Structure 1
Amino acid sequence: MPKPSLPRFCKSIYALLGTSALVGAVAIGSAHAQDTAPTAPAAPTATTPAPAAASTPAPVEDAAALQERGAYIATAADCVACHTKPGGTPFAGGLKISTPMGDVISTNITPDPQNGIGKYTEQEFDQAVRHGVRRDGAYLYPVMPYVSYAGMTDQDVHALYAWFMHSVKPVATQPKPTELTFPANVRSAMAAWNFVTTKEQPETGDSATYDTQRRGRYLATALEHCGTCHTPRNFMLSEKQDHYLAGGSLGAWYAPNVTSSKTSGIGNWTEDGLVTYLRTGRLTGHAQAAGPMGEAVEHSTSHLTDKDLHALAAYVLQVPAMEDDLEHQARESFGKAVENPDIRTKEPTRIDDLSEMDGPHIYDANCSACHGHNGAGTVDQYAPSLFANTTVGSVRPDNLIMTILHGVNRKTQDGHAGMPGFGSTSDVQRLSDAEIAKLVNYLMATYGSGDQHVTAEKVGELRKAQ
């Protein structure tokens, strides 16, 4: 998204917003620059040990229902994604969110009174979640999607607070503080941004009783905060409400257009198809979730009820179509299997200098064992086809580059989806920037939207962006 010249304050806010693929989930969900994907923390449950009971407990049946509701809200809001570092204890914080102004470190939100939110009153909790103001009055950075959470109902915030305070195990761990460079380190400057940005309006009533469309809207705009990643931003870095879900850059990743456009969005998808994708992270002949979206699926959408998944899908599929300046053909409509690839029909040739390897040779050496010499993938599509694939069919190569660099590690009730990252193994780089550029151009020209003329410099930029 082209960025106009901004005052330093706006640039600092952009740095915090524009590079935070972690906020949704989408957010989406959290994306980390790692050589291999980390073991994801378990989805939140209502069975973790509880601290001492409140002095005036609710009736047992009401308390149990409240805890169950709170656990579900926490899952739908994908709290665990940002507040858990790789391999860490759920909700204990410590996740590093890199920005050009420094690293934002997620906080401990367990009920530990010294290191977490144990001293928060419900009103103070609400101020943080829906208004971006923490207990000491300081402003939170908008990598915390309070702009979306502002739309939550009082009842759901109450349930979320009760669950965190009485079902999440306190963890006496203090993450390192966030230290940003000036002027981003002046938290009070966020007051100006909060004044001009558009926030969701709080919903009323019992969200569990909403009709399908209202429930779907509530899930999309408030809890799952889809727009945080998938909506482009204006010069003040607020979401463009008139371009809702039309696609936006997340730094290294790109959250695609998911409006009802049949050429630029997902207007050709069925409701059942989108539900399958949200539950499993894959839809054969269309897409597979990786990066921030893979984490959003793993931690959040795969745990929603069928009723909620259908409500969410139905709402998203009726969002007004927005056409893309670059995408003029459905991303999943490109390509076909390659018959008798040249590399398998020609006499083998010796390559003494590996830097001379071209796209087909790089593909054959690193990818064909799983994706097939013709790009059709495995029979069960565990290794997906490279044609009829939204990542390869996009005219934006960012997500394909990032998937090759960092791989896929997605777990849902449907099973595990894995692919090694080819950016590096430990401290040993597997494929260079130039090799990945050649591979991406070959894949997109052979199975997707066409040779996008990706350069080694472009790959290097994305390699460093996370």
Structure 2
Amino acid sequence: MKKMLKGLGAALCVALPFIAQAPADAATPAATGAADQTLVQRGAYLAQLGDCAACHTAPKGKPFAGGLPMNTPMGRIYVTNITPDSQTGIGGYTEAAFARALREGVAKDGHNLYPAMPYPSYAKVDDDDVKALYAFFMHGVAPVQQANRESDIKWPLNMRWPLMFWNMAFLEKGAYRDKPGKDVAWNRGAYLVQGLGHCGSCHTPRGVAFQESALDESGSAFLSGALLDGWFASNLTGEHNTGLGRWSDEDLRTFLKTGANRHASAFGAMTSVINNSTQAMSDQDVAAVSTYLKSLPPAGGTGAAAYTYDPQATKVSLDRPANDAGARVYTAYCMHCHGVDGHGFAPMLAPLAGNPNVLAKDASSLINVTLNGTGDLVIDGVPSPFPMPGFAAVLDDQQIADVLSFVRAGWNNGAPAVGAAEVAKLRQSTQAGR
């Protein structure tokens, strides 16, 4: 029964165009009028906050022209062209049609968008910000004629009409409203995190219909960490071990601006978020996001005792690497960057001792980054000097399982061991098509 429910949820989320037409709109597209450059510039900033480029710009592709492949349980879909090209993009969209697509997941011709587009979060974007975003995409983006690509999902799972019912069940309409009793910074941070930042799309667990288990702090699952496309998006609550409980406000602000701090470094999809979005945030907005996230109570932890650093047992093991297969791999391939003491050389080289990603119950991110490495963090146009390399061609499944088990046990981390079968599964899914 559980498998059937999961299959239904996946089908609802990756389910062809809904044939009903959108209501007629008497307004005309903005492409014909003179643009308010102040509004366009504001829209450009908001598009960065929403990280629109990360999904709508393919590698080596033109900005916002789409074509980026996204994997789903039922097959691959391709992100659409949102440049103002009138034939293949959104040049024919009125502001009302743009707002409906953004906040309700319904395209101009009436077909439902896949919830890979985070419209349940964008539903909270207010009218002024929608207007600015529309001005930017119509007047601040170069039109690109590039046809959208059909998904690889086979019939009948490619039908989109079930998404109408998904929206009825899970889409909460209405822009964010300030919470009484909370200050300006908290409310601004909540608006950004829940809305344009759509942090919950990755960091909140999904239900059986692929819906986010919570859309704001009123749900205990909100931002408590989630598995997505081979990565485990980190816990962003105040949980002591796997969340932000040990991070100061300065730690969090530093991470959002640079992708690294004394606790951890960004990898996977978060690298793109840092590169394309959070580093461009104003100091005021960064502070607001930090204020809001640091207010979230602990949730989604492992139940383990609060982490305390203890290097002694690990140091003994590394002194005698022949006694431990994982220690042998660590000594040969990892120690020169991450150190005998597990502290690395933060923030340039990530620590492993007490790192929330190391302590997480789900080891998917550790396996994935060990196999495939991570992309460059590029801050103010300068790439990071020491990106994590991939070891898929160097280490076999058992060696990776051994070294990660060693790391997860080392320095008093106390996290569960990793099995070779887990590594083999992620190797197969992440190396396909490379």
Indicate conservation of the 8 Å contact 1:92/1:171, yes or no.
yes
Is residue 252–residue 398 contact of structure 1 (8 Å, CA) maintained in 2?
Answer: yes
Structure 1 residues 110 and 414: alpha-carbon distance in aligned structure 2, compared to 1, 3 A threshold: closer
Equivalences for residues 368-407 of structure 1 within 5 A: 368-378=335-345, 381-407=347-373
- Give the CA deviation at 1:289: 1.2
**For 1:289-316, what per-residue CA distance to the aligned partner results, in whole angstroms no more than 9, with x for missing partners?**
1112222122111110010011111111
Match of 1:421 among 354, 378, 389: 389
State yes or no: 1:244 paired with 2:222: yes
Alpha-carbon distance, 1:387 to partner: 1.2
Aligned-pair CA distance for 1:267? 2.6
CA distance in 2: counterparts of 1:146 and 1:182, whole angstroms: 24
Tell me the alpha carbon deviations over residues 236-261 of structure 1, each in whole angstroms, 9 at most, x when there is no partner.
Answer: 33222222112222141112322223
Letter of the 2:304 counterpart: H
* Preserved CA contact (<8 Å) 2:264 2:347: no
- The structure-2 alpha-carbon separation of the partners of 1:414 and 1:456, relative to structure 1 and needing over 3 Å to count, comes to same
Report the Cα distance in structure 2 between the residues aligned to 1:159 and 1:464, rounded to whole angstroms. Answer: 43
Counterpart amino acid of residue 177 in structure 1: E
The aligned runs of 1:300-449 (5 Å cut-off) are 300-324=277-301, 326-330=302-306, 333-336=308-311, 358-378=325-345, 381-408=347-374, 409-413=376-380, 415-417=382-384, 418-424=386-392, 429-447=393-411, 449=413
Q: Distance in 2 between matches of 1:3 and 1:453?
A: 27
Asked if the contact 1:275–1:313 (Cα under 8 Å) also holds between the matched residues in 2, the reply is yes
CA distance in 2, matches of 1:381, 1:126: 40
Q: Of 242, 259, 267, which residue of structure 1 is paired with 2:245?
A: 267
Structure 1 pair 246–463 and aligned structure 2 pair: CA distance change class (3 A): same
Deviations 1:295-340 (A, max 9, x none): 212211111001001111111111233253x243456x45537776
For structure 1, which segment, 88-97 or 307-316, has the greater mean C-alpha deviation from structure 2 after superposition? 88-97
Q: Distance in 2 between matches of 1:381 and 1:256?
A: 18
Question: Which residue type is aligned with residue 365 of structure 2?
Answer: N
| Residue number in structure 2 paired with 1:452 | 416
Q: What is the 5 A alignment of 1:59-458?
A: 63-199=36-172, 201-203=174-176, 211-241=184-214, 242=219, 243-263=221-241, 265-284=243-262, 286-324=263-301, 326-330=302-306, 333-336=308-311, 358-378=325-345, 381-408=347-374, 409-413=376-380, 415-417=382-384, 418-424=386-392, 429-447=393-411, 449-450=413-414, 452-458=416-422
How many residue pairs align between the two structures? 406
Q: What SS class does the counterpart of residue 161 from structure 2 fall into? A: helix
Unaligned runs of 5+ in 2: 16-28
Asked if the contact 1:198–1:238 (Cα under 8 Å) also holds between the matched residues in 2, the reply is no
In the alignment, what sits opposite 1:48?
none
> How far did 1:175 drift?
4.2
CA contact (8 A) 1:444 1:452 kept: yes
- Asked if the contact 2:10/2:73 (under 8 Å) is kept, the reply is no
8 Å contact 1:393–1:447 — kept in the other structure? no
SS of the residue aligned with 1:161? helix
1:264, distance to aligned residue in structure 2 (A): 5.0
Q: Using a 3 Å threshold, how does the CA distance of structure 1 residues 323 and 115 change in structure 2: closer, same or farther?
A: closer
Counterpart residue identity of residue 421, structure 1: P
Aligned counterpart, 2:26 = none
Compute the displacement of 1:179 (Å): 2.8
SS, match of residue 383 in structure 1: coil
TM-score, normalization by structure 1: 0.79
Aligned residue for 1:193, secondary structure, equals helix
Q: CA deviation at 1:366?
A: 1.8
Tell me how far 1:81 sits from its aligned partner: 0.6
Structure 1 alignment gaps of length 5 or more: 17-51, 350-355
Q: What's the CA shift for 1:235? A: 2.8
Q: Deviations over 1:441-466 (max 9, x none)?
A: 11112235336231221012222334
Structure-1 separation of matches of 2:242 and 2:340: 29
C-alpha distance after superposition, 1:174-216 (max 9, x if no partner) = 24221312333001111111110043521379xxxx9212211
Greater shift, 82-91 or 262-271, is seen at 262-271
Residues 143-152 or 274-283, more deviating: 274-283
CA distance in 1, matches of 2:226, 2:78: 23
Note if 1:10 corresponds to 2:9. Answer: yes
Corresponding position of 1:26: none
TM-score between the two structures when normalised by the length of structure 2: 0.85
CA offsets per residue over residues 332-372 of structure 1, 9 Å max, x none?
A: x45537776655568xx8xxxxxx99222222222223223
Give the SS at the match of 1:224: coil
List per-residue Cα deviations over 1:28-64 (Å, max 9, x = no partner).
xxxxxxxxxxxxxxxxxxxxxxxx9954425xxxx12
The residue matched to 2:252 in structure 1 has which SS? helix
Q: Is the partner of 2:5 in helix, strand or coil?
A: coil
In structure 1, C-alpha distance between the alignment counterparts of 2:92 and 2:110, rounded to whole Å: 14
Task: Give me the whole-angstrom Cα distance separating, in 1, the residues matched to 2:168 and 2:370.
Answer: 40
Cα separation, partners in 2 of 1:395 and 1:406, compared to 1, 3 Å: same
Q: Evaluate the alpha carbon distance shift between residue 464 and residue 451 of structure 1 in structure 2; reply closer, same or farther with a 3 A threshold.
A: same
- Partners of 1:170 and 1:317 lie apart in 2 by 40
3-state SS in 1 of match to 2:328: helix
Amino acid at match of 2:253: V
- Which of 35, 54, 57 is matched with 2:34 structurally? 57
- How far apart in 1 are the matches of 2:104 and 2:415? 45
**For the structure 1 residues 98 and 53, does the alpha-carbon distance in structure 2 shift closer, same or farther, using more than 3 Å as the test?**
closer
How far did residue 104 of structure 1 move?
A: 0.9
